[in-house]
Amino acid sequence: MAYYCVNKNAQPNGTHEVHKDGCNWYPEEKNRVDLGTHSSCKLALEEAQEYFGNVNGCAYCCPTCHRS
């Protein structure tokens, strides 16, 4: 299990990136929506989709959920 969040600010391509706790690119508190603890990045992305329609996994901490 790991703690995830999603960035409130979209990337230039319009996606909101999901990060795992401890990532070098973990957003600042004011720039993130906390998603809670999930057993996989896939479940974290599903949760993130309730906030933002267009989400993506961070290439660094969620490579299995990253779409380039």
Footprint of Zn ion on this chain (CB under 5 A)?
19, 23, 25, 58, 60-61
Identify which of residues 21 and 50 has a Cβ nearer to Zn ion in the complex.
Answer: 21
Identify which of residues 53 and 63 has a Cβ nearer to Zn ion in the complex.
Answer: 63
Least separation, in Å, of the C-beta of 8 and Zn ion? 15
Identify which of residues 48 and 58 has a Cβ nearer to Zn ion in the complex.
Answer: 58
Q: Which long-range contacts (CB under 8 A, 24 or more apart) does 61-64 make?
A: 61/19, 61/20, 61/22, 61/23, 61/24, 61/25, 61/26, 62/18, 62/19, 62/20
